[in-house]
Structure 1
Amino acid sequence: MLVDFEAELWVWEARRDDSWTFVSLPVDASDEIRDLTDGQRRGFGSVRVEARVGVTTWRTSIFPDAKSGAYVLPVKKAVRTAQSLAPGDTVRVTVEVLDLSQD
C-alpha cells in the first residue's frame, strides 16, 4: 500500500528542540493502514514503512496518535537537512506500508 500526501512538519510538544519532528498521515489513510495491518503491528502499535521526502528514501516506522486518530511519521534530521526542511514547512511524502496482513 502506498500513501502519497502533503503535510506540515511539526515538533513533538514534549521536546524543546526539533529533534523529534513528524508529519501526520491523513486520517482516512491511517484507518485503512490500521485495517490492512491488523495483527501485524509492533511495539506501541507501530507499522514498518519505507518513506520518501523529495529524493530521500528511508525505512522507519509510523506510530498511532490517539489524539488525532492518524499515524505519525518521524522525519529524521538527516532527511530534513538533505531536503532543506524545517518545522512548519509543508512537504510531499510517500509512505509504503511494509507490514501487511496476509489473509
Structure 2
Amino acid sequence: MYVTFVGHVIEWRGPAPFYFVRVPEDECAGIQEVASAATYGWGVIPVSARIGEIDFSTSLFPKDGGYLLPIKNAVRKPQNLSAGDEVTVEMTVRL
C-alpha cells in the first residue's frame, strides 16, 4: 500500500525529543484495512518512507485512532527540519 501526504513535523518531548508527522485521517483508513496483515505487534506498522531526497524505514505508531510517522534524526537533520515545518511524505506499508 502506497500513500503520499503532506503534514507538519511535530515534537514530542519525553526523556529525549522525538519528531513525528501525523498521518492524515484519509490515509489512516486505508492503513487500518491492512494493519492486521502488516503489524508485528503492539499495533505498530512497518513502513518505508521518503521525505525530500532521503529514504528510510521505520514503523508507524498508533495514536488516538490514527498513526504517527517517526522522523529519524538521519532524515530530519540533513534537511534542517524542525517542529512546525511542512513536509511531503511518500510512504509504503510493508506487508
Q: What TM-score does the superposition give when structure 2 sets the normalisation length?
A: 0.89
Equivalent position of 1:6 in the other structure: 6
Amino acid at match of 1:5: F
Aligned mate of 1:42, from 40, 43, 63: 40
* Structure with larger Rg: 1
Which structure shows the higher strand fraction?
Answer: 2
Equivalent position of 2:71 in the other structure: 75
Question: Residue by residue, what CA displacement relative to the aligned partner does 1:27-78 show, whole Å, maximum 9, x if unpaired?
Answer: 1211211112324312320111001000000111001112xx2211000111
Unmatched 5+ residue regions in structure 2? Answer: none
Equivalent position of 1:91 in the other structure: 87
- Aligned partners of 2:86 and 2:42: how far apart in 1? 26
Unmatched 5+ residue regions in structure 1? Answer: none
Q: What TM-score does the superposition give when structure 1 sets the normalisation length?
A: 0.83
Equivalenced residue count is: 95
Question: Residue by residue, what CA displacement relative to the aligned partner does 1:1-47 show, whole Å, maximum 9, x if unpaired?
Answer: 111011000012x4275x31000111121121111232431232011
Identity %: 36
Runs (4+) of structure 1 moved beyond 3 Å?
none
Q: How far is the alpha carbon of 1:83 from its aligned partner?
A: 1.2
